[in-house]
Structure 1
Amino acid sequence: MALLIDPPRFEAHGRRWSHLVSDTSIEELHAFARRAGLPAWGYEGDHYDVPEERYAAVVAAGARPVEGREVVRALRSSGLRMRKRKGDRGVARVRADLPDGTSALVDLLRGGREVDERRVFCAVVLVVDAGGDHLVVHSVRRRQWGPPGGERDPGETVREAAVRELHEETGLVADPTALVPVGYERFADLGDGGTWPPGRDLLQLYRLDLPERRPATARLLDDVDDVRWVTWDELVTLCGDDFYWPVLEAVLRPRGG
């Protein structure tokens, strides 16, 4: 087991940065980062960004200095590398145990651009009202709370699917152009009967900010049996143990929260 760090050569935000990785496990990486005093916001899904001024301290804490190509090679050989587009930020890689009895390995990512529509099988809308409260529904099939959303129908665009699901599950009518892409989830088959082919493996996350406080809701179909407006703390209680929570927290957590 080793923690590897490359020289601070990557320039961003007026500073130079190194990349800290583990060649064994993300858990080991997180544990080392905590011991070294690295902030959680520096985590990028498969590595920590380390500012130049912290480089020497991280090396002194036990990270082994290597060249950048060795960092990339270690991530690839360990299977820990998280693929992402330029500008996207990795949040977490998690195992999802699904209602049909299968499981998937899911990469949770932040990103302000929509992903390739051809690969999107599902769209979810994170609705926030003028007071900062959140809209959740209780799924009959999943037997759990979560933001409104669901699978695309044949011929639908991703945005069309998102506003249709929002309307069917909550009664709210939204302009598709008002949806703001904030992240996505990428599913990979774990070999237990799940069906996540590379060509249809993405869930698109949108955010919708409303100008009013807690508008009235209504259930139009029976795939959800409750709809609620909740505070941030209530959202944490209802959804904080679900596999997708890290990306919701990353894009929704109130400033200073």
Structure 2
Amino acid sequence: MQKIEATLLTMVIVHNEKSGEILLVNRPSKRGFPGYLGPGGKIELTESFAEGAVRELREETGLLVNPEDLIYKGVDEYILLDEGYRYIVFNYVATKYEGNLLENAPEGEPRWVSKEEVADLPMQSWFRRRLPYFFQEGTFEISIHLKNFESSPLKESVRKIG
């Protein structure tokens, strides 16, 4: 059996149900993946997926969420064929949170935006395609095969569950 190298990541879309806004982070080019994205990042070895999501959300935005309050939405994977590497992202929505947004956040400016405003914001194409699934019923699985991160998808599949 072939050993597969992978990085496990999380992403949390915080949804303010009263205002209808969602929290995104405007990442500068120097941080990689410039534009607006959901908060998230790498899961540490001793963390559960939810614990990693909560930590990344706190580090990037200042908001606190209880892991039990996260709503699991699905997984997406990016398979880089040139590198023989796989990135796997566990996706969550949070509607219960507390705290204040960080000023001078290390990963970029956290900002509340309306769902209507999202269409006009600069963001990575993979995130723009994935974002609607956070607000649909059920969960999702997305698999994208790429030669490398700069290439167009060679193969892409989306599966909705529930």
User: In which range does the TM-score fall when normalised by the shorter chain?
Assistant: 0.5 to 0.7
Give, as a single letter, the amino acid of the residue that structure 2 aligns with 1:250: Y
| Structure-2 change in CA distance of 1:124 and 1:209 (3 Å) | same
Say if 2:95 is the partner of 1:217.
Answer: no
The answer as to whether partners of 2:13 and 2:134 remain within 8 angstroms in 1 is: no
For normalisation by structure 2, the TM-score amounts to: 0.68
Which one of 13, 18, 22 corresponds to residue 126 of structure 1? Answer: 13
The answer as to whether partners of 2:9 and 2:90 remain within 8 angstroms in 1 is: yes
The answer as to whether partners of 2:24 and 2:37 remain within 8 angstroms in 1 is: yes
Root mean square deviation of aligned Cα:
2.5
Give, as a single letter, the amino acid of the residue that structure 2 aligns with 1:206: Y
Taking only the aligned residue pairs, the percentage that are identical comes to: 27
Question: How far apart are the structure 1 equivalents of 2:45 and 2:104?
Answer: 20
Larger Rg: 1
Secondary structure at the aligned position of 1:124 is classed as: strand
Secondary structure at the aligned position of 1:206 is classed as: strand
Secondary structure at the aligned position of 1:207 is classed as: strand
Map Cα deviations across residues 148-205 of structure 1 (whole Å, 9 max, x no partner): 00001221111111000000111001000000111211121221x3632xxxx42100
Secondary structure at the aligned position of 2:125 is classed as: coil
2:113 maps to what in 1?
Answer: 230
Say if 2:85 is the partner of 1:195.
Answer: yes
1:123-162 → structure 2 map (5 Å cutoff): 123-130=10-17, 131-140=19-28, 141=31, 142-162=33-53
| Structure-2 change in CA distance of 1:216 and 1:148 (3 Å) | same
The answer as to whether partners of 2:11 and 2:91 remain within 8 angstroms in 1 is: yes
For normalisation by structure 1, the TM-score amounts to: 0.44
Q: What are structure 2's unaligned runs of at least 5 residues?
A: 1-5, 137-162
Question: How far apart are the structure 2 equivalents of 1:220 and 1:160?
Answer: 24
The answer as to whether partners of 2:34 and 2:123 remain within 8 angstroms in 1 is: no
The answer as to whether partners of 1:146 and 1:239 remain within 8 angstroms in 2 is: no
Q: What are structure 1's unaligned runs of at least 5 residues?
A: 1-118
Map Cα deviations across residues 9-33 of structure 1 (whole Å, 9 max, x no partner): xxxxxxxxxxxxxxxxxxxxxxxxx
What displacement does 1:244 show?
A: 2.7
Secondary structure at the aligned position of 1:122 is classed as: strand
Give, as a single letter, the amino acid of the residue that structure 2 aligns with 1:123: T
1:22 maps to what in 2?
Answer: none
Which one of 87, 93, 107 corresponds to residue 207 of structure 1? Answer: 93
Q: 1 or 2 for the larger relative contact order (CA 8 Å, sep ≥6)? A: 2
Map Cα deviations across residues 200-229 of structure 1 (whole Å, 9 max, x no partner): x421000111379xx63115752x231100
| Structure-2 change in CA distance of 1:176 and 1:219 (3 Å) | farther
Secondary structure at the aligned position of 1:238 is classed as: coil
| Structure-2 change in CA distance of 1:211 and 1:150 (3 Å) | closer
Question: How far apart are the structure 1 equivalents of 2:40 and 2:89?
Answer: 10
